[in-house]
Chains A and B, each alone.
Chain A
Amino acid sequence: MPDKPENRVDRIVSDLLRGRRLKLRGGDAEEKEAITVAARLAAASHGPQRMSSAFRSRLAAALVSAPREGWLTRRSALVAGLGVAAGAVSGGLIGKTLQPAPYAQLARGGLINPEPGRWVDVGALSDFVAGQSKRVTAGAVGAFLFRHGDTMTAVSSICSHLPCELWWNADGASLDCPCHPASFNPDGTPTKQAYGLPALNQVNVRVTAAGRVEVMGT
C-alpha cells in the first residue's frame, strides 16, 4: 500500500530538521513544491551557514590541484612540451572530479559482466519478435531483449535512477519506470534528454548456431 503523502513529507521534514541529507523516493515528486519549501524553512531554522574549516581546507586542496585552463595555457603547455601530458591530466582530472566514478560508468550504460558468469538459455530466436521486447532473467540478471533480424540486443531491466523494475510499453516502444516518470529507448538511452538520467546498463546476449538466445547471467 503506498505511503500517504503526509507521511512521506513528514519523513523528509524530520530528516531535514535533523540535518540529514535529502533522501527522496518514487512518488515524492508529486510534493516537489512542499519538499523544496521545507528545505528552505529547514535552512532558515539552522541559521546562517558557513563552510566548516575542514570542508574549506578540502576545497582549497581540490582547487589547487585542479587544472586551470586560463593559467596553464595551451601555448605554454606546448612550449613546455607538455601538450600531451596536459591533455591527459586535464581530461583525466576533470572526468574524475566532475562526477564520481560509478556515476560516470553508468552514464555510458556500462556492461553487466557477472563474475563468475555463465551463458543462460532464454529461448529460441523465433520466440522473439522484432519491434517488441521480452523480459528474461538469467539467474540474478534481469534484461529486456530486442530482436534485430538474426541478432539480439539486451539492456538491464532495472531503472538507472531508482532500483525499480522497468516494464515494456508496447505503444510507446519504450521501457517505462513505474517509480517515477522516466522511460528509456530500446538501446537504453533515456527518452527525455533533459531528464539527465544515465543510460541503462547493457547486458551480454548472443544467438547460437542452433538458433538459441543466450544471456550472460549468473
Chain B
Amino acid sequence: MSPEPGSPGEEAGAAEPAGDVLELPAASRATDIALDELELVYAYIYARVGNRADTEDLTQQVAMKAIPRLRQGAPASAIRGYLFATARSVLGAFWSTRLGLSEAELHEDLAMAVPPGPPSLEPEERAHRILAALSDNYRRVLELRFLHGYSLKEVASEMHSTVGAIKVMQLRALRAAAKVPPDA
C-alpha cells in the first residue's frame, strides 16, 4: 500500500483552527472548495481507469479519506495537493487489488504525477501523443478501435484482415503503446 499522505495543514504550514467551536459557514465553504477540487480528482482518476462506475467509487474513497483530515483555513493549493496525493494512493491500491499485484510490481506509470495542465485536456493530448509514437498499423488499429469506436469486425474489414489477426494486433499495439515514454 502506498503510505497515506500527511495532513495538508502540515504540508502547507497552516495554522490551527482559530475557533474551538463548530463553525458551519466555514465548514460549508471548505466543503464547496473540496467539491471543486474533487472535480479535478474525478477527471484525473477517470483518465486512468476509463469508466464512470470505478471513478465514482474511487473519488468517493478519496473524499472520505481526505476530507475529515482537512483543516479549516487550509489554502486551496494545500487541499489540492493532499487530494491528489490521496488519489494516487487510492489508485495504487485499486490497480494492486484488481491485478493481484503488489504496488511495487505495478509499472512506473502508476506513480502518477499531478497533471501539469488543465486535467480535462490531458487525457486526449496524452492519447494522441501515444498514438503518434506507434507504427502505422498499430496506430490505425487503436485509432479505429478507441477513437472511432469500431468493433473488431469493422476494424478487420477496414484493414483487410481477419478478426483473429486484428485481436492479436490490438494486443501488440497496446503493449507497444505502454512502452511509449511519458514525455513522448
Contact = CB atoms under 8 A, between A and B. Distances in A.
Interface stretch (A47-55, A124-132, A208-216): A47-55
A59 B121 contact: no
A35 B47 CA distance: 13
A98 B61 contact: yes
B67 interface: yes
A94 B68 CA distance: 9
A69 interface: yes
Which size bracket describes the interface of B in this complex? 35 or more
Given A21-B51, A60-B35, A194 B103 contact: yes
A62 to B, nearest CB: 7
Contacts of A42: 50-51, 146
Nearest to B31: A63
A125 to B, nearest CB: 36
B168 A59 contact: no
A33 to B, nearest CB: 3
A151 B128 CA distance: 63
A13 B145 contact: yes
Contact of B70 (A40, A41, A70): A70
A161 B35 contact: no
Nearest to A50: B39
A9 interface: yes
Given A62-B60, A194-B102, A40 B69 contact: no
Contacts of B56: 51, 55
Given A36-B178, A71-B27, A41 B130 contact: yes
Interface string B33-68: 011001100110011111111111001110111011
B110 interface: yes
A35 to B, nearest CB: 8
Interface in B136-160: 142, 145-147, 149, 152
A169 interface: no
Contact of B178 (A16, A28, A33, A47): A33
B132 interface: no
A35 B59 CA distance: 21
A84 interface: no
Interface stretch (A114-122, A137-145, A174-182, A199-207): A174-182
A194 B106 CA distance: 12
24 contacts: A21-B51, A22-B54, A29-B105, A33-B179, A34-B171, A34-B175, A36-B109, A37-B174, A38-B146, A40-B126, A40-B127, A43-B48, A43-B50, A49-B52, A66-B64, A67-B68, A70-B9, A70-B74, A71-B23, A71-B72, A98-B65, A161-B100, A195-B96, A195-B102
Given A41-B174, A58-B60, A62-B60, 8 more contacts: A7-B167, A9-B170, A48-B43, A50-B120, A51-B56, A59-B38, A69-B71, A180-B101
Interface of A: 5-7, 9-10, 13, 15-17, 19-22, 24, 26, 28-29, 31-52, 55-56, 58-60, 62-64, 66-73, 75-76, 79, 90, 94, 97-98, 161-162, 179-182, 192-197
Q: Sort A-B residue pairs by CB-CB distance and give the 3 closest, nearest first.
A: A180-B100, A44-B127, A70-B71
